Structure 1
């Protein structure tokens, strides 16, 4: 795992911990649990092949890569709920897929 992905992973862990999730390492990804919900958190610095299955996934990338990663995820026509977090130096923005594009 490269330095960029490691940093994304740390940022993702911090975000989900701050939101009240219990976060655990799961290979290159994270698992965030709160109440009944388990979210697989996937750091993705650049567009790549997303996991084929799951229930709830949150992809985490840098703000300047959000559009490219979102295009890749949308093109994959995934059969699970997903969201995308774009991180910049000061904060982050969460986007969710819709039938007409990404809603923030």
Structure 2
């Protein structure tokens, strides 16, 4: 199993490529695009997923309105809780990566989407 102190950046790229997205590199983050969807993807290590204040910014007005945070599976609950309480002004999802490379998508709870 990969160490949780390293963000699952390559795993994130692999997931989006398997889903048919084109990848536009932007340093540690990237934009994944498919059809009409442009998603800003942010891989997070365990520490960043548990204390995401500086990482989970509100983005710029010209950036993608869809955000996906990719982290290790055992960090998804804390990140989901943080995002639901922060109510960022973009639609978001979390992809939790398992040690064997499998993944699970976590969406916001109903009624917590941005206004």
SS at structure 1 position matched to 2:107: strand
| Aligned residue runs from structure 1 range 1-104, under 5 A | 4-5=6-7, 8-45=8-45, 46-47=49-50, 48-49=52-53, 50-53=56-59, 54-90=64-100, 91-99=102-110
Higher relative strand content: 1
Runs of 4+ in 1 over 6 A off after TM superposition: none
Counterpart-to-counterpart distance in 2, 1:27 and 1:74: 27
Which string of whole-angstrom CA distances, capped at 9 and with x for unpartnered residues, describes residues 7-41 of structure 1? x1100000000000001211221110111211000
Structure 2 distance, partners of 1:75, 1:98, is: 11
Tell which has more relative contact order, 1 or 2 (C-alpha 8 A, sep 6+): 2
TM-score calculated relative to the size of structure 2:
0.77
- Could you tell me how far apart the structure 1 residues matched to 2:57 and 2:22 are? 22
> Matched residue pairs, number?
98
For structure 2, the 5+ residue unaligned runs are: none
